[in-house]
């Protein structure tokens, strides 16, 4: 069973962000910088560290509490409108063995309502410069099944190749057997593809297999070929490509 690791980058690696980064809360701009840093706090993807002078610090408040991290000593900040109760929303690096991090601010992603790289919104977390997502049209024949029941079949799939994940096969809705699918309220977001507009569970002999398929009606510009198409988790269904059954990959979606 093949494993699909995440993109590997050394933890605490630091790089300049070549893009303008902005962030908004309650309609007010909190961040606007051309000098953000990518910092890999863990190997999967980076976080933004933002120059203090490019942050609307008047919207924040601190009681002086600090914390020791692998990136240095950080001072906690909360929204001034909320006071210092609860978890902090941002941390200012006050001292560090990494000089480029001193006087930078790291926000919790969900503390801001919207993040932008240039003028395009970014979801979930910053996009890694070492990750790539390609959507390619194909004429390979793809069949999706589960427990001997065919769920979809196509000779015109769009194949999505994303760093660290197995190939995803996006199929026309007219090629999906929706009599076996039940829509759910699940919504997920991806920094590379956008926000899903539909999820479906599969029901076979009365057994519900939750949230096995999804669709993006309005994907990001780079993934426009998948708009309106349906994909299934390769980890949880049987995928046949040109009549060859593929091994189920093992990823963090497997269980």
Cα–Cα nearest to 190, from 64, 81, 45: 45
| Superfamily of 14-122 according to CATH | Domain of unknown function (DUF427) (2.170.150.40)
pLDDT band at 9 (very low <50, low <70, confident <90, very high): very low
Rounded CA gap, 255 and 253, in Å?
6
| CATH architecture assignment, domain 133-245 | Beta Complex (2.170)
Asked if 129 and 38 touch (Cβ cutoff 8 Å), the reply is yes
User: Mean pLDDT in the chain?
Assistant: 92
- Predicted confidence (pLDDT) per residue in 81-106, tens digit: 988 888 999 999 999 999 999 999 99
What pLDDT is attached to residue 83?
A: 86
Cβ atoms of 63 and 85 within 8 Å: the answer is no
- pLDDT exceeds cutoff 60 at 4: no
User: How do residues 241-252 score in pLDDT, each as one tens digit?
Assistant: 999 999 999 988
| pLDDT surpassing 70 at residue 237 | yes
Using one digit for the tens of pLDDT, what is the confidence trace for 140-191? 999 999 999 999 999 999 999 998 889 999 999 999 999 999 999 999 999 9
Q: Which residue has the higher pLDDT, 131 or 1?
A: 131
pLDDT at 3: 45
pLDDT tens for residues 59-80? Answer: 999 999 999 988 899 999 999 9
Residues of the chain with CATH 2.170.150.40: 14-122, 133-245
Q: Are 178 and 154 in contact (CB under 8 A)?
A: no
Of 140, 148, 202, the C-alpha closest to 167 is 140
The mean pLDDT of 226-244, rounded to a whole number, is 97
Among candidate residues 162, 112, 172, the one with its CA nearest the CA of residue 135: 162
What 8-state DSSP symbol labels residue 75? Answer: E
Q: What is the pLDDT of residues 15-29, one digit of tens each?
A: 999 999 999 999 999
């Amino acid at each position: 069973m093949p494993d699909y690791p995440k993109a590997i980058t050394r933890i605490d690696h630091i790089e300049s962000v070549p893009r303008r980064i902005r962030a908004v809360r309650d309609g007010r701009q909190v961040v606007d910088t051309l000098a953000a840093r990518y910092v890999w706090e863990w190997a999967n993807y980076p976080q933004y560290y933002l120059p203090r002078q490019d942050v609307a610090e008047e919207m924040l408040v601190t009681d002086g509490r600090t914390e020791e991290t692998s990136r240095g000593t950080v001072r906690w900040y909360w929204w001034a409108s909320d006071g210092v109760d609860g978890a902090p929303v941002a941390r200012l690096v006050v001292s560090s063995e990494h000089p480029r991090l001193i006087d930078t601010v790291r926000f919790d992603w969900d503390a801001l309502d919207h993040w932008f790289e240039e003028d395009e919104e970014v979801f979930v977390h910053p996009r890694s410069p070492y990750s790539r997502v390609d959507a390619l049209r194909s004429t390979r024949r793809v069949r999706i099944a589960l427990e001997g029941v065919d769920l979809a079949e196509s000779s015109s799939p769009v194949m999505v190749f994303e760093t660290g994940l197995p190939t995803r096969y996006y199929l026309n809705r007219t090629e999906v057997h929706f009599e076996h699918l039940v829509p759910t309220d699940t919504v997920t977001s991806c920094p590379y593809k956008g926000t899903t507009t539909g999820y479906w569970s599969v029901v076979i002999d009365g057994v519900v297999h939750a949230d096995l398929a999804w669709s993006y009606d309005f994907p990001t510009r780079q993934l426009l070929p998948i708009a309106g198409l349906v994909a299934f988790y390769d980890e949880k269904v049987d995928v046949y490509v040109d009549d060859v059954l593929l091994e189920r990959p093992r990823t963090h979606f497997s269980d």
